Amino acid sequence: MTQITVRQYQFDLVDVYQPGHCLDDNEAEALNRLRAENIRNNVKPRVDAAAARLEPGELLSPAALAELQATVARYARDYRFQPATIKKRFGIIEIEARRVARERVEFEARLINSPIDQAWLDETIDKWAKLPEVVEEARLRVAERQRVVSQGIEDLL
């Protein structure tokens, strides 16, 4: 059973896919698209970091592009969908703290023109997300979002 939320309402869905389910063409295509989008989102910081070192209008050299292609291929080869329980174990403050930590880690890496290795990035985000100043920034962001949403609801009423 899976739950979805639309606005403040929760709806139960019966899980139709179980381990061993034989996929039809449309299901396989949808899963491959989801996998590709997940991989894209996960390797984007590395591509962004490489592009950030370029002058405006300049393109990556063939060698740099080939290196990135090899990195993406290695990542894709080892990519596995993560269990949904991973997301559920974090509360809203922890999720936002991870966002704050990611922003800070990527910014620091760009400052020193350091390539971003995914394993290093994940490990560093895990550490930085627990720093008191990162947690406080996350708490402030969440509180501000909640204030804006509450104000928006009040304005609608």
pLDDT digits (tens, 9 = 90+) for 6-58: 777 778 888 888 888 899 999 999 999 999 998 888 888 888 888 888 888 89
Place of tokens 């080892």: 78
The pTM (predicted TM-score) of the whole model is 0.51
CB 9 within 8 A of CB 80: no
User: Which of 34, 45, 13 lies closest to 81 in space, CA to CA?
Assistant: 34
pLDDT digits (tens, 9 = 90+) for 56-83: 889 999 998 998 898 888 888 888 887 6
